[in-house]
Amino acid sequence: MSDAQSTQTLPSASPVTSSARATRLRFAAFWGLPPLVWQLAFFVVPLGFLVAMTFWSVKSFRLTPDATLANWTFILNAGFFRNAYIYTFWLAGLTALLASLIAFPAAYTLAFRLQPATRRFLIFMLVVPFFTSYPVRIYSTQIFFSPQGIINAALHPLGLGPISVLNSPTGTVIGYLVLTLPLVVLLQTFALMNVPKTLIEAAHNLGCGRLRTILTVIVPSARIGLVVAATFAFVLAFGDYVAPLYLGGSKPPTLSILIADQVKSGNHWPRASVVAVIMILTLVAVMSTMLALAYGRRGAKP
Amino acid sequence: MNAALLRRAALLVWTLLVFTFIFAPIVSTIVFSFNADRFPSLPWCGFSLQWYEAVFADASVQRGLVNSLIVAAATSVIATFLGFAAAYVDYRYRFFGKAAYTAIVALPPTVPVVILGVAMLTFEGRIGLSGTLTGVTVGHVVLAAPFAMALVRMRLADLDPDIERAAWNLGATPWSTIVGVVIPFCLPAILASIFLTAAVSFDEFMIAWFVSGVNETLPVRVLAMLQGQVSPRINAIGALVFAVSMTLVVAAQILLGRNSRRSKEPQQ
């Protein structure tokens, strides 16, 4: 930040004295440095430390600085890790897809079919879940789907059920949807609201059917927002710990459960760090692929 | 146009179902926190405040609540200052490495909290912060500062950069300009950010779970209670947490709403 220069220097003002420049620099440093120092010290350094720890060893239950690849070879060769990785990736991908498909008609309704006042209210409502305890929502969901829960009580008179989704991958995905759907509906709604209305009217005037308008006009022009929404869903589900534990019964475990187990009980932090670093690399790869997908094709269009 | 009507009805029903799925867990938490029966099922067994009484009598819940409030208060002040500073720097200056600067400040919410939690625990263990409320606060500030930055930056987008330049031209120092012009202009966003970052901290459970040790915050206590059996006390805590968070969020929303209305007036 020491080279922070005000680009807004006064064009025709009196020559800036060196003491005025020093004041200007001190001013810039006062605002510029604290956020940088804080995030470097408590975000970048801990993540760097996490990477460094993947090369440490545990000798007689004590963490020892080291330069070994043993943790990496152990995790990468462990069958339980490979299974957990594939399982977590698959469920997060499925969640992104399901959330996008389930959210789309709702986002479409919000963006195009409702009065502005109703839309504003519903958008505010969609922010509410972010500020309610997520573990408590998962607890409620668990009770809904429990064998004596409301869902089965409602299905029984219809001659259906009982369904059991708890302690299964289905339960985990339901939990992931509880987590991701509000955000996906919100982001999709914003994306659809930005589609120019004239574009849609033009398509209708040219005799394009409703479904075809959605598929060939609305979805392509809202593509970036839709992809970003799906990516967020993937990222949230991929890292979630609560849903796979309480709705999925942690069998099979997801990557975040592996991390928590290794840290909280297994006490093998270097191995947990390896899993964490692999998760970060995966998310970076997924996010850059998705963003390339969202922005890339625009250039290809004539 | 029967088909159009049918299509419209189908869309509305689908939207209703999606919102039901999203809000059923929240509504049921609140409703069943007042239910007399131990197991939350229909039919309703009568109104009761017994779960709230049990919660308020629970010493570990009381401690968790106090810890959470301390952490949320400290987090909101520090995160809002850092967020304002970063937003102002982004608004005012152009310099080498600015993209990296804003990225470092803004990125933490994209990292899964389970990973932030492990990183915080291993790092803070080294410097003696793990197991302390300071340690939890430090992690929450990292997570909450980007939200503060976004709120203030959106507000600053409505402030013409020429106003600050004009003040400088008239001989005002950068300090008196920021105190006299920029901060008053951003005040609604700053207050909103204090409420919002407090709410982020008050609900955060993963970093706190890794770092807090014996100094559990309220969400960490809830997580521990979930591991036990079904207990309507969880509903009562959930409803309380909901009430606190929503008060903060609605306060922020009102401030921001007034904020945008005011900024539109002078333009007309």
Compute the distance between CA of residue A110 and CA of residue A133 in angstroms, rounded to an integer: 25
B-chain residues near A65 (CB < 8 A)? none
Reference B144, options B191, B77, B98, B222; nearest CA is B77
**Residue ranges of B 37-96 with Cβ closer than 8 A to chain A:** 39-42, 78, 81-83, 85-86, 88-89, 92-96
Q: Answer whether A133 sits within 8 Å of B199, measured CB to CB.
A: no
B251 vs A: CB within 8 A = no
- Per the CB < 8 Å rule, is B169 touching A182? no
Residues B87/B182, Cβ–Cβ less than 8 Å: no
Residue A225 confidence class, pLDDT cut points 50, 70, 90: very high
- Distance CA(B222)–CA(B101), nearest Å, equals 36
* Mutation target vs B (from A2, A9, A10, A31; most B CBs, 10 A cutoff): A31
User: What single-letter amino acid sits at B147?
Assistant: F
Residues of B in contact with A126 (CB under 8 A): 22
Q: Is the ipTM of this complex over 0.90?
A: no
Q: Do B175 and A27 count as a contact with CB atoms less than 8 A apart?
A: yes
CB atoms within 10 A of CB B47: 8
Q: DSSP letter string over chain A?
A: -TT-B-TT--SSSSPPPHHHHHHHHHHHHHHHHHHHHHHIIIIIHHHHHHHHHTT-EEETTEEE-----HHHHHHHH-HHHHHHHHHHHHHHHHHHHHHHHHHHHHHHIIIIIS-HHHHHHHHHHHHGGGGS-HHHHHHHHHHHTSTTSHHHHHHGGGT------TTSHHHHHHHHHHHHHHHHHHHHHHHHHTS-HHHHHHHHHTT--HHHHIIIIIHHHTHHHHHHHHHHHHHHHHH--HHHHHTSTTSS--HHHHHHHIIIII--HHHHHHHHHHHHHHHHHHHHHHHHHHHHHHHH--
What contacts A34, CB < 8 A, 6 or more positions away?
B81, B82, B85
Confidence of residue A297 (pLDDT cuts 50, 70, 90): low
pLDDT at B144 exceeding the cut of 80? yes
Q: How far is B46 from chain A (nearest CA, A)?
A: 17
B212 touches A at CB < 8 Å: no
> What is the nearest CA distance from B218 to chain A, expressed in angstroms?
10
Q: What's the pLDDT band for A157 if we cut at 50, 70, 90? A: confident
Q: With beta carbons less than 8 A apart as the criterion, state whether A128 and B249 touch.
A: yes
Collapsed DSSP state (helix, strand, coil) of residue B64:
helix
CA distances from B40 to A21, A140, A145 (A): 67, 9, 12
Which CA distances in Å does A230 have to A102, A181, A183, A284, B142?
11, 10, 10, 15, 25
Residue B138 and residue A29: Cα distance in Å, rounded? 22
- Could you tell me the pLDDT band of residue B246, with boundaries at 50, 70 and 90? confident
Chain B 91-150, residues with CB within 8 Å of chain A CB atoms: 92-96, 101, 104-105, 107-108, 110-116, 118-124, 126, 138-139, 141-142, 145, 149
Mean pLDDT of A151-163: 78
Closest CA to A30 of B200, B175, B125, B189: B175
Q: What is the pLDDT of residues A185-203, one digit of tens each?
A: 999 999 999 888 888 888 8
Task: Compute the distance between CA of residue A292 and CA of residue A297 in angstroms, rounded to an integer.
Answer: 8
Contact (CB, 8 A) for B124 and B116: no
Exposed e or buried b for every residue in B3-38, given b needs 16+ CB within 10 A?
Answer: eeeeeeeebeebbeebbebbbbbbebbbebbbbeee
By C-alpha distance, the chain B residue nearest A232 is B110
Q: How far is CA A116 from CA A113, A179, B22, B253, in A?
A: 9, 26, 21, 17
What whole-number distance in Å separates Cα of residue B70 and Cα of residue B78? 12
Residue A90's contacts (CB-CB under 8 Å, 6 or more residues apart) are: none
Instruction: Look at residue A250 and tell me whether its pLDDT is greater than 90.
Output: no
Convert the pLDDT of each residue in A73-125 to its tens digit: 999 998 999 999 999 999 999 999 999 999 999 999 999 989 999 999 999 89
Is B175 in the A-facing interface, judged by CB distances under 8 Å? yes
pLDDT band at A290 (very low <50, low <70, confident <90, very high): very high
Say yes or no for a CB contact (<8 Å) between B118 and A144. Answer: no
Which residues lie closer than 8 Å to A121 by C-beta, 6 or more apart? none
Sign of CA dihedral B29, B30, B33, B38: negative
CA distance B133 to B130: 8
Instruction: List residues bridging with A64 in a β-sheet.
Output: A57
- The pLDDT value given to residue B73: 96
CB contact under 8 A, B85 and A28: no
Pairing of strands A57-59, A62-64: antiparallel
What integer pLDDT is reported at residue A189 of this predicted model? 95
Distance from CA of B249 to the nearest CA of A (A): 8
Closest approach of A302 to chain B, Cα-based (Å)? 30
A161: left (phi over 0), alpha (psi -120 to 50) or beta: left
Do residues A272 and A262 make contact, with C-beta atoms less than 8 angstroms apart? Answer: yes
Calculate the dihedral angle through the C-alpha atoms of B109, B112, B115, B119, rounding to the nearest 10 degrees: 0
Residue B44: pLDDT above 80? no
pLDDT at position A68 is 86
**pLDDT > 70: what percent of chain A?**
92
How far is Cα A166 from Cα A249, in angstroms, rounded to an integer?
7
State pLDDT tens for residues B60-115.
889 999 999 999 999 999 999 999 999 999 999 988 999 999 999 999 998 999 99
**Cα A260 to Cα B117: distance, rounded to the nearest angstrom:** 9
Out of B15-29, B126-140, B227-241, pick the least confident: B227-241
Beta bridge partners of A5: B94
Mean pLDDT for B200-212 is 92
Cis amide linkage into residue A252, ω under 30° from 0 = yes
Phi/psi at B56 (5° precision): -70, -20
Nearest C-alpha of chain B: how many angstroms from A301? 28
CB-count burial class (<10 Å; 0-12, 13-18, 19+) for A113: middle
**φ/ψ (deg, to 5) at B216:** -60, 140
Q: What would the mean pLDDT of A41-63 be, rounded to a whole number?
A: 89
Q: A interface mutation test: which of B92, B96, B104, B118 has the most A CBs within 10 A?
A: B118
The answer to whether the Cβ–Cβ distance between A5 and B122 falls below 8 Å is no
